[in-house]
Structure formats: structure tokens, C-alpha cells
Structure 1
Amino acid sequence: MSEIAAKDIEKIVSTSQKRSLETDEADFKCKMLKHSDNHLLLGSGDSWYERNFFTSNEAQSILDELNEQVEFLPRDTFKFKIFGQINLLPRDKAFYGDVHEKDGSYPLYRYEASKDAEYPQVKQWTPVLQRLRNILLEKTGQRCNHLVVNQYRNNNDHIGYHVDKTRDFVQNASVLTLSFGEKRLFRLKNIRTKEIQELRLDSGSLFVLGPKTNSEWKHSIIKSGKLCGRRVSLTYRTIKTIKHKDGTLTETDSKGHLTDGTSEDGKVKEE
């Protein structure tokens, strides 16, 4: 495995850069990320980045398959309000996962803060998405049952700082993200200290977000002032919440067994 070059770890050091990128922060800290061989350790120490998870040829081949197999939802499916103005989500999304062949049940990841939010139905894996899921299982030992595909068409598409909602996660599960296409700037920002770690996610790379990092750091894909091409990210998760055709929810572990999060009839207990 090749060593990650220092140029792939970007530091922001000048006051002018600080003010233009983090105008709401008085104290700005940026840390040079530790790395060895093909790995970077990130966040709180339970997150890591592998640059050459796939070779460049493999990554391009996978991207070609994704172009043929993934169906993105219309952007007007996802709307949000800022200062009273309705906006469209600045990226494309698609949802895949373990859909039960007989009853149509599927894992539900509720990533919105609102309890009343509605979520598109998850589709059954395509061949390439399932193959990649199995590769990640072999690599990490984590069996994922849910996938969000995000497509960033150009430099204007982005996702703001956030932490992943964990109420539907199997306990201690990590979030696994594969990147294909254009490099994009990824940032972690410590919630308490405001320290920032950043790097550009290469095509064919793997980023693993650990549960401790997710609780202590926000993360984002930054909007860029420079023109760039399309990036597709595949974010695999292990979800315990299962939605059934009648709308009821049950909880399972990664092997499909009921957990303590359900009542005797298998329904999710109200919070």
C-alpha cells in the first residue's frame, strides 16, 4: 500500500482563511492528521481513512456500474426551510438496503431531527451495491443493511456540518463511506474545542466514522469556489429499526434478532 502524501492533508493557517471559512468561530484550530502507510487516524481515534481501498481502475469501473444501476430521487423530493424560504437539497439521494422478499419490510434510518419527517422507501440492493456491501463486511466485520447514495453534481453541491442521528443504529456500529469520482474536501470539527481536521476524499477511498467521533465531532462536505466534477458517495450503515408495510416499526440487531429496544409484540417503544 502506498503512503499518503502530505499534500493530501490540508491545513488552514492564515487569519484571512480562518475568517473566510469559519466566520462564526473566534478560535480556530487545525491539526495535522497522523498517518502511516495507507491509513489516516481521525477524530477521536475510532475513525480512519484508507485512500487506496480500490485502485483507480477499479474505482472507475465501479463508478460506471453506479451510473447504470443507481436511480436518484428528484431533488424536489427533499425540501427544507431556512429563514422562511423553501430550499432544495444541494445533492441527489437514493436509498438501498435489505428489503424482505416476502413482506417488503426494510431498515429505516431516521436522519431528520423532526419526529414527523417522512422518508422514501428503501429499494433492494443492485448488484454493484450488494457486492460492495460484502467487500466492506470482509474488510471491517460489520454487516450493513442500509445505504444512502449521495451524488454531488458539481462544486456547489455540499452537505453542512452535522452529526449522524443514532437512534436507529445498532449499538457501537460505525458508518462506512466509499467515494467515487471527483475529490471533495471533507472536514471534521470538534464540537467542544472547534478543532478542524480535513482532507480530500479520493475516488476509491474508504472513510470509517466511529461512534465516539460521531458524538464529539461534526462532519461536512464543503461547498467549493472552484469548479469540479461529480462525486458519488456510498454511506453504509447497520440499522436496527425495521419498517413494515402496515407502518409499524420493530427493532433487531444486525443478525435480525429482536433486541431490548422492542416491547413483547416487537414494536418499538415510544420515547
Structure 2
Amino acid sequence: MSATLFSEESKDIKPIKIKDGEYIYVPNFYKKELADKYLARLLSDIHWKQESMKMYGKEIPFPRLTAWYGDQDKPYSFSGITLQPHPWSPGLLKVKNDIEPIAGVSFNSVLLNRYRDGSDSISWHTDAEKELGKNPVIASVNFGAERKFQLKHIETKERIDIVLQHGSLLIMQGELQHYWKHQIPKSKRVKEERVNLTFRIIK
């Protein structure tokens, strides 16, 4: 197996505790060769779409492409839109099975984001929709261009920056979604694509 899936090492992965939350970051969860294969497959096989949201009476397109996959009875609503899931692909199921031993939960859905270059982004937000439950565990798997992931505490404004590498795994858990916003800012220096898979549990 070419993935660094932590047979013995997994017990040594410990959450990084921060004020009002915690996260796990594994920078080289997948080795480059396998990460390259996943990226190519995701770019070619996923049903990508540019969604839009209504703001000030206008339809504003999201600055990225998205897709929603998972169990067929698990739609997802955010930013005024509701996504109906595509059925799991074999590749997405493989990633899901790889990360669940680290996350300690069984995911039933995944939101995919495709950032075509550094001009694509996602602004400050929390993943605190009611269908995600009280303290959601959200696992983010990253392929392609490195992008800066930023956390900002809602009350103290403390900020944490994490560079998400090709093949990395980030898990947000505990009370983090109640107290911390997160974003992927624009970056003029990034010219390559990035695909991000955020696995979730829809209640």
C-alpha cells in the first residue's frame, strides 16, 4: 500500500488543542504518487458545478466549483442552496475508509471544492448548519496546489494559519465550529488547481 495510513503510527496522532476546539493535521497522509492519482481522477470524474447564491437581489457565483456526494437520503443546505447527493464513487469511498480510523467516526457525505487557481477562494464561515449536529467532526483531504487555511476565533480574533499540503488530512472537531471561523483566502501566486474533500456526517 502506497498510502501512509498509520497502522502502528495512528495511535500517536493526537489532536492539537486550541481555545474552544481542537484539530488534527497530518501533512503527508497520502504519499505524492497516490495523491497525484487521486487528483487526476477527481478532476476528470467528479460532476463539478459552479453554484451561486442570491445576494442583494443578484445571483453571485461561488468563486470555486463544488460537488456533493454521499448517502442518497442526505441533502445538504448552505448559503441559500440545497444540494442533492451524487452516489458515492469507488475513489471517494476509498478515501472515506482511509480517514475514518483517524477521525473516529463514520462519514455519510462529502462536499468537494475545486479551486481552479489562486483567484478561487472561500470566505470566512463556520460549518455549523443544524444537520451537522452539535459538535461536528469534519475531515478535510487536500490534493493539488498548497493553499493557506486560516482559522479565526469569533470572540478573541486569534488567528491560526495552516498550509494545507498535497495529500494532507485536516480534521476539525470538538467545539471548534461554534467558536472559530475558517477560510481559504485568494492568492495571486497560486496558478495550479486544488481539490478539497470535506467529509461530514449529516444527521
Fold shared by both chains (TM-score > 0.5): yes
Which residue of 111, 119, 122 maps to 2:85? 122
1:92 and 2:60 correspond = no
**Cα distance in 1, alignment partners of residues 129 and 141 from structure 2:** 20
Displacement of 1:61 after TM fit?
1.3
Higher mean C-alpha displacement, 193-202 vs 84-93: 84-93
The one-letter code of the counterpart of 1:207 is: L
RMSD: 2.1
Structure 1 residues 40, 187: closer, same or farther in 2, change over 3 A? farther
Match of 1:41 in 2: 16
Match of 1:264 in 2: none
Structure 1 residues 166, 43: closer, same or farther in 2, change over 3 A? farther
Which residue of 53, 59, 76 maps to 1:79? 53
The one-letter code of the counterpart of 1:134 is: N
1:110 and 2:73 correspond = no
Match of 1:179 in 2: 142
Residues 48-91 of structure 1 show CA distances to partners (whole Å, capped at 9, x for unaligned) of 21101111111111112212321102x2x323325x55421100
Match of 1:212 in 2: 175
**Cα distance in 2, alignment partners of residues 123 and 148 from structure 1:** 11
SS at match of 1:110: strand
| Long gaps (5+) in structure 1 | 2-36, 100-105, 241-271
**Cα distance in 2, alignment partners of residues 47 and 230 from structure 1:** 25
Judge conservation of contact 2:128–2:177 (CA < 8 Å) in 1: no
**Cα distance in 2, alignment partners of residues 196 and 96 from structure 1:** 31
**Cα distance in 2, alignment partners of residues 125 and 230 from structure 1:** 23
Match of 2:27 in 1: 51
Match of 1:162 in 2: 125
Structure 1 residues 108, 86: closer, same or farther in 2, change over 3 A? closer
Displacement of 1:38 after TM fit?
7.9
Higher relative contact order (CA 8 A, sep 6+): 2
Judge conservation of contact 2:103–2:139 (CA < 8 Å) in 1: no
Judge conservation of contact 2:135–2:177 (CA < 8 Å) in 1: no
Question: Radius of gyration: which is bigger?
Answer: 1
Give the TM-score, by structure 1 length. Answer: 0.66
Which residue of 21, 37, 40 maps to 1:61? 37
Judge conservation of contact 1:136–1:142 (CA < 8 Å) in 2: no
Judge conservation of contact 2:71–2:88 (CA < 8 Å) in 1: yes
Judge conservation of contact 2:68–2:112 (CA < 8 Å) in 1: yes
| Long gaps (5+) in structure 2 | 5-11
Displacement over 4 Å in runs of 4+: 37-40
Matched pairs, number: 192
Aligned-residue sequence identity (percent) comes to 30
Judge conservation of contact 1:38–1:52 (CA < 8 Å) in 2: no
**Cα distance in 1, alignment partners of residues 59 and 52 from structure 2:** 10
The one-letter code of the counterpart of 1:233 is: N
Displacement of 1:40 after TM fit?
7.6
Give the TM-score, by structure 2 length. Answer: 0.86
Displacement of 1:43 after TM fit?
4.1
**Cα distance in 1, alignment partners of residues 82 and 166 from structure 2:** 28
